[in-house]
Structure 1
Amino acid sequence: MASFVNIPVGSDFPLENLPYGVFSTKTNPRKRIGVAIGEHVLDLAGAAKLYPPEVQDALTSDSLNLLMSLGHTAWNVVRTCTRELLLKNSILEQNAMLVRNVIIPQSECDMHLPANIGDYTDFYSSIHHATNVGIMFRSKETALMPNWRYLPVGYHGRASSVVVSGTPVRRPLGQTVPVEGQPPVFGACKLLDFELEMAFFVGGPGNQLGERITAEDAWKNVFGFTLMNDWSARDIQKWEYVPLGPFTAKNLGTTIAPWVVPVASLEPFLIDNYPQEPEVFPYLKHQRPFNFDINLEVSLKPEGAAETVICKSNYKYMYWTALQQIAHHTVTGCNVRPGDLMASGTISGETEDSYGSMLELSWRGSKTINLNGGGTRKFLQDGDEVIIRGHCQRDGVRIGFGECAGKVLPAIPL
């Protein structure tokens, strides 16, 4: 398919993608919804009158929440109309000028969080990551906790500190135990880490408190996927996580990419779900494949230096699917709402170069990560920028997610 908008070879955003984001410009500071196409953005608010009346309010909103709430039928309508507006020679002549006038270069756009995130949950669903961490802190024989293969492990994160790509993250202060068996000390985190993750936004009407969403029906509640970096203070985490799990080691900041790729864009890249043993409980079963072949990579860029790709992984290593995550999340009757964010947990592959965190790449600080230009790292230093990228590619079609980037700023002393 060809668009009248120029799409460079290798672009993340061809006509087959059409991801959603929220942007503003210096000439128009109002936040509005856009769709990425090549190096440009189609302003959906500016083109809203060309869409059916039932979706126009959602397209003129300042976040994706209303569109997310409308469900699959509306999402398909918007996607179909958007594609028609961007196809070469497909729109009526009297509408062509309007569309061209609301296509804006991405270089002129300031990107914002795509949704008002009411709640944020982070899972722990990559079997290789969970195994690596278990080996480090326990043993190879007891790497996975007894519950891990029976349910999607997760924790409730802090929605207020989720930020959009490009927002710097400050090194946190906290309590740590540098010497085992000695009392804790207070100071700046010394073992700051990234976590390579993907996340999805909940869509559809959600469910009422006390109701459940089955794994078979959960696909109706997945609006789209985005890249994520769940920054982690490993030394703070080690001391504080017992007995209730992650707390301040995780709430310093969570970075997401500005673009949300619809599930419809990813369907050509569906693959079989990861084999699960033992057999899961009935409420976690679904016949629909919901795993995707998404190539992921992480680059580290020290201040004033070139970036180095330090990790290449893939979403296909997810043991628990997004549908199982929703089913388990709601099996108690917990209600989920449009705009809620649910993250995968660190996505690590089978080989050392596919590990999705510094904790694994340096194997708890026992190995050195070599960087272009001669530098080395074990954990993140001030001034380091972490850049996560992802894309699917098959039969000449590339579906990309843009970038999820953030720079580490020094701690502010007390």
Structure 2
Amino acid sequence: MTVIDIPAGSLFGVGNLPYGVFSTADASPRVGVRVGDSVVDLSVALGDPVFALPILNSFMAQGRARWIEVRQQVADLVTRDIADAAVHPIDAVTMHLPVGVADYVDFYASEHHATNLGRLFRPGTPPLMPNWKHLPVGYHGRSSTVVVSGTDIVRPCGQRKSPERDAPDFGPTRRLDIEAEMGFIVGVPSTMGESVSPDQFAEHVFGAVVVNDWSARDIQSWEYVPLGPFLGKSFATSISPWVVPMLALEAARVDTPVQDPKPLPYLRGEQRWGLDIDMAVEWNGHVVSRPPYAQMYWSPAQMLAHITINGAAASTGDLFASGTVSGPAVDQRGAFIEMSWGGAEPIAVGDESRTFLEDGDEILISATAPGADGARIGFGEVRGRILPATQALR
């Protein structure tokens, strides 16, 4: 039997208990929970076949009452002896994409980010579009290119048009960027033709992950009018392997910034779903930004309400992301296009300087939040390294 050691100050204590999908050298992917520096195999520890599956979807679909029940079972379990076969050191497992991503929507919920990009893309005009403070602006992404942390990112190719040229050319992006975001995963689906109110959010959304929505800014700027992001975004979106349950984030719930004008009734709720999450962006091992999620104008509950208000169904495994998390200071911006002000102001990365990503660069985004009893909980990290454009794409 094993007693799990939880180091003092661990971001993965009993107040967290995030879910992930892992494999070992002798067994295929299945569901586990991280506790300290160990992974508990729930298919062994709880003996439930739903946890022997290679994705979380079937468990997530069982609903909030089941989520609460299992969370309590795991919390009780990890404070006493556990069968040796159920416990694995974190450095002895391989992590996999935790969910089968059914659909992917990305929002644009930071007023600071939207204002900065408005000034960069539309100088001399109001930075926010007229609709921005009336609804959470978003676009549909490509679920098939959502990948787990640690997956290398091949530099994408596409059409680019420099301001000094009369026509576009084709080739690898020269302005490869990141977007530090938080993502939310639907557990319980909704029915087509019905909507999910902000106060029903906790009944449908299982947990949260860290997201890096990689962006090719030169491809994006040429293609995005009039229908929005397409090839500049769809080549890759990375997520962290650990899904932190919304049940673990009760102490992190805060009010959103004041929303003025007052949102329409379908975007209002009695419950507060702003989240006090601190993020950190590392570029080649150097922290260059600390975006504050608490300053996001639109909450995830309002995002889900907007997704479904026209009758669109939410499905188990749907991922919707916040859009870039940015604060008012330069070192709180969650995208390099903002930090470098469109490439005009290079960013110090250790002893080097950068504006956009170069081949071989590695990005790591992490996040923490307040947990129960004054502890902090961690989301782990989402990491990706840039590979050169392949010959097939040139």
Q: Name the TM-score class by shorter chain.
A: over 0.9
- Residue aligning to 2:13: 14
Given that residues 134 and 140 in structure 1 are in contact (C-alpha distance below 8 angstroms), is that contact kept between their aligned partners in structure 2?
Answer: no
- Residue aligning to 1:360: 338
Aligned-partner Cα distance in 2 for 1:180–1:285 = 46
- Residue aligning to 1:378: 355
User: Greater CA deviation, 245-254 or 177-186?
Assistant: 177-186
Displacement of 1:138 in angstroms is 2.0
Matches of residues 303-382 of structure 1 in structure 2 within 5 Å? 307-372=285-350, 374-382=351-359
Q: 1:127 aligns with which of 111, 118, 125?
A: 111
Aligned-partner Cα distance in 2 for 1:328–1:292 = 18
- Residue aligning to 2:36: 38
Aligned-partner Cα distance in 2 for 1:246–1:286 = 30
Q: 1:71 aligns with which of 42, 63, 74?
A: 63
Aligned-partner Cα distance in 1 for 2:78–2:114 = 43
CA displacement, residues 178-209 of structure 1 (integer Å, 9 cap, x when unaligned): 234510011110000000000010012x2121
Displacement of 1:358 in angstroms is 0.5
Aligned-partner Cα distance in 1 for 2:298–2:49 = 35
Given that residues 196 and 305 in structure 2 are in contact (C-alpha distance below 8 angstroms), is that contact kept between their aligned partners in structure 1?
Answer: yes
Q: 1:104 aligns with which of 88, 102, 109?
A: 88
- Residue aligning to 1:165: 149
Aligned-partner Cα distance in 2 for 1:25–1:4 = 20
Given that residues 251 and 370 in structure 2 are in contact (C-alpha distance below 8 angstroms), is that contact kept between their aligned partners in structure 1?
Answer: no
Paired AA for residue 66 in structure 1: S
- Residue aligning to 1:220: 203
Q: Percent identity?
A: 44
Paired AA for residue 312 in structure 2: C
Displacement of 1:79 in angstroms is 0.1
Given that residues 290 and 322 in structure 1 are in contact (C-alpha distance below 8 angstroms), is that contact kept between their aligned partners in structure 2?
Answer: yes
Secondary structure in 1 matching 2:307: helix
- Residue aligning to 1:153: 137
Given that residues 32 and 60 in structure 1 are in contact (C-alpha distance below 8 angstroms), is that contact kept between their aligned partners in structure 2?
Answer: yes
CA displacement, residues 307-350 of structure 1 (integer Å, 9 cap, x when unaligned): 11111111101111111111111111000111110000000011
Secondary structure in 2 matching 1:217: helix
Given that residues 45 and 82 in structure 2 are in contact (C-alpha distance below 8 angstroms), is that contact kept between their aligned partners in structure 1?
Answer: no
Q: Note the aligned Cα RMSD (angstroms).
A: 1.4
- Residue aligning to 1:233: 216
Evaluate the alpha carbon distance shift between residue 83 and residue 140 of structure 1 in structure 2; reply closer, same or farther with a 3 A threshold: farther
- Residue aligning to 1:92: none
Displacement of 1:212 in angstroms is 1.3
Aligned-partner Cα distance in 2 for 1:244–1:339 = 26
Evaluate the alpha carbon distance shift between residue 239 and residue 97 of structure 1 in structure 2; reply closer, same or farther with a 3 A threshold: closer
Find out whether 1:59 has 2:51 as its counterpart.
yes
Aligned-partner Cα distance in 2 for 1:17–1:217 = 22
- Residue aligning to 1:292: 275
Structure 1: stretches of 5+ with no match in the other structure: 50-55, 89-95, 302-306
Structure 2: stretches of 5+ with no match in the other structure: none
Evaluate the alpha carbon distance shift between residue 97 and residue 198 of structure 1 in structure 2; reply closer, same or farther with a 3 A threshold: closer
Displacement of 1:392 in angstroms is 1.6
Displacement of 1:141 in angstroms is 5.6
- Residue aligning to 1:202: 186
Displacement of 1:11 in angstroms is 2.5
User: Greater CA deviation, 135-144 or 399-408?
Assistant: 135-144
Find out whether 1:251 has 2:243 as its counterpart.
no
Q: Tell me the matched-pair count.
A: 390
Aligned-partner Cα distance in 2 for 1:17–1:42 = 13
Displacement of 1:396 in angstroms is 4.5
Given that residues 3 and 82 in structure 2 are in contact (C-alpha distance below 8 angstroms), is that contact kept between their aligned partners in structure 1?
Answer: no
Aligned-partner Cα distance in 2 for 1:10–1:27 = 32
Paired AA for residue 24 in structure 2: T
Displacement of 1:7 in angstroms is 1.8
Find out whether 1:407 has 2:380 as its counterpart.
no
Secondary structure in 1 matching 2:291: strand
TM-score, normalised by the number of residues in structure 1: 0.92
Aligned-partner Cα distance in 2 for 1:297–1:197 = 11
